[in-house]
Amino acid sequence: MKPGVQGAGIKWPNDILVDGCKLAGILVESQARGASDTVVITGIGINVRMASTGSDLANAAIDRPWVDLESCLPAPLRPVDRNRLVSGLLDRLLAAFGRFEQSGFASFRPRYEALDLLEGRALSLECETGEIRGTGRGVDDLGRLLITMADGEVRAFHSGEARLHKE
The tens digit of pLDDT for each residue in 83-137 reads 999 999 999 999 998 998 899 899 999 999 999 999 999 999 999 889 999 999 9
pLDDT score of 162: 95
Q: State the DSSP string of the chain.
A: --SS--SEEEETTTEEEETTEEEEEEEEEEEEETTTEEEEEEEEEE--S---TT-HHHHHH-SS-B--HHHHS-GGG-S--HHHHHHHHHHHHHHHHHHHHHH-GGGTHHHHHHHBSSTT-EEEEEETTEEEEEEEEEE-TT-PEEEE-TTS-EEEESS-EEEE---
CATH 2.30.30.100 boundaries in the chain? 118-164
At the top level of CATH, the class of 118-164 is: mainly beta
Residue range 40-57: mean pLDDT, rounded? 79
12: alpha, beta or left? (left if phi > 0; alpha if psi -120 to 50): beta
pLDDT one-digit tens code per residue, 66-89: 999 999 999 888 999 999 999 999
Architecture (CATH level 2) of domain 8-104: 2-Layer Sandwich (3.30)
Where exactly does CATH 3.30.930.10 map onto the chain? 8-104
The pLDDT of residue 1 is: 46
pLDDT of 53 higher than 60 = no
